[in-house]
A and B are shown apart, each in its own frame.
Chain A
Amino acid sequence: MAALAKLQRAAHLAEIERTLGDPVLQQTIRTRQDNRRCLQQQAAAELPDWQAWKEAVASLRSHTLTHLDAYLEEFADNLERRGGQIFFAADAAEACDYVVRLAHAKEASLIVKAKSMLSEEICLNPALAAAGVQAIETDLGEFIIQLAHERPFHILGPASHKTLEQICELFRELTPEYLPPEPQALAAFARRYLREKFLSAEIGITGCNFAVASEGAIVLVTNEGNGRLCSTLPPTHVVLMGIERLVPDLSGLDPLLTVLPRSANGLRATTYMQIISGPRRSDREDGPRELHVVIVDNGRSHILGTSYRPILHCIRCGACLDNCPVYRNIGGHAYGAVYSGPIGAVLTPLLEGIDSSAHLPFASSLCGACNDVCSARIPLTDLLLDLRRDVVAQRLSGRGWELGMRSFAEITRHPDLWRAAVRLARLALKPWVREGFIRRGLGPLRRWTAGRDFPAVPPKSFRALWRRDADAS
Chain B
Amino acid sequence: MERRAFVKRIRDELAGGDPDGSTCEARPCVAPAAPLYGRSVEELQTVFLARQEELGVEATAVATRRQAQTAVGQLLDERPWSLVCSPDLSWPSIEERRTEHTAAADFGLVQARWAIAESGTIAVDTADGEHRATSLLPPAVGFFLPLSRLVPRLGDLLEKLVETRDSLPACITMITGPSASADIVGVRVVGVHGPGEVHVWLIEDE
Q: A228–B158 contact, CB under 8 A?
A: no
Report the Cα distance A94→B127, complex, angstroms: 35
B61 lies within 8 A of chain A by Cβ = no
Q: A190–B30 contact, CB under 8 A?
A: no
CB-nearest residue of chain A relative to B15?
A305
With A187-B189, A232-B136: A69-B7 Cβ-Cβ less than 8 Å: yes
Report the Cα distance A53→B24, complex, angstroms: 22
Number of interface residues of B (CB under 8 A): 73
Report the Cα distance A287→B87, complex, angstroms: 14
Which residues of A have CB within 8 Å of B30? 56, 59-60, 251-252, 254-255
With A139-B183, A250-B165, A301-B13: A279-B170 Cβ-Cβ less than 8 Å: yes
Q: Which of A56, A69, A273 meets B32, CB within 8 Å?
A: A56
Which residues of A have CB within 8 Å of B23? 67, 70
Interface 0/1 of B146-171, CB less than 8 Å to A = 00000000110011011001001111
Q: How far is the CB of B92 from chain A (nearest CB, A)?
A: 23
Interface residues of B in 77-135 (CB under 8 A from A): 102-103, 116, 118-121, 126, 129-133
Interface residues of A in 269-324 (CB under 8 A from B): 269-281, 284-287, 295, 297, 301-302, 304-305, 309
Q: Which of B136, B158, B170 meets A253, CB within 8 Å?
A: B158
B14 lies within 8 A of chain A by Cβ = yes
Q: A278–B185 contact, CB under 8 A?
A: no
Which residues of B have CB within 8 Å of A73? 7
A136 lies within 8 A of chain B by Cβ = no
Q: Which of A53, A138, A269, A274 has the most CB of B within 10 A?
A: A269
Q: How far is the CB of A450 from chain B (nearest CB, A)?
A: 32
B205 lies within 8 A of chain A by Cβ = no
Report the Cα distance A10→B184, complex, angstroms: 31
Which one of B38-46, B65-73, B172-180 contacts A?
A: B172-180
A360 lies within 8 A of chain B by Cβ = no
Q: B193–A225 contact, CB under 8 A?
A: yes
Number of interface residues of A (CB under 8 A): 101
A52 lies within 8 A of chain B by Cβ = yes
Q: How far is the CB of B76 from chain A (nearest CB, A)?
A: 23
Which residues of B have CB within 8 Å of A280? 126, 170
Interface residues of A in 47-87 (CB under 8 A from B): 47-49, 52-53, 56, 59-60, 63, 66-73, 76, 82, 86
A144 lies within 8 A of chain B by Cβ = yes
Which residues of B have CB within 8 Å of A183? 184-185, 187, 189
Q: A305–B14 contact, CB under 8 A?
A: yes
With A215-B165, A304-B14: A144-B183 Cβ-Cβ less than 8 Å: yes
Q: A191–B28 contact, CB under 8 A?
A: no
Which residues of B have CB within 8 Å of A267? 176
Q: Which of B161, B169, B192 meets A190, CB within 8 Å?
A: B192
In order of increasing CB-CB distance, the 7 nearest A-B pairs are A225-B194, A305-B13, A225-B193, A141-B183, A140-B183, A269-B119, A67-B24
In the complex, besides A191-B191, A254-B158, 20 extra interface pairs with C-beta distance below 8 angstroms are A48-B34, A53-B32, A66-B21, A69-B7, A140-B181, A144-B184, A157-B183, A164-B184, A199-B103, A224-B183, A225-B192, A225-B195, A250-B162, A271-B194, A274-B174, A275-B161, A275-B168, A281-B126, A285-B170, A286-B129
Q: Could you write out 30 A-B pairs with CB less than 8 Å apart? A: A49-B34, A60-B30, A63-B27, A67-B23, A86-B3, A94-B1, A140-B184, A144-B183, A162-B184, A183-B184, A188-B191, A215-B165, A223-B180, A224-B179, A226-B192, A228-B173, A228-B194, A248-B27, A250-B158, A251-B31, A251-B159, A254-B31, A257-B154, A265-B182, A271-B178, A272-B175, A285-B129, A285-B132, A297-B1, A301-B10
Chain A interface (Cβ within 8 Å of chain B)? 28, 31-32, 35, 47-49, 52-53, 56, 59-60, 63, 66-73, 76, 82, 86, 88-90, 94, 138-141, 144, 157-160, 162-164, 167, 183-184, 186-188, 190-191, 194-195, 199, 214-215, 217, 223-226, 228-229, 231-233, 243, 248-255, 257-258, 265, 267-281, 284-287, 295, 297, 301-302, 304-305, 309
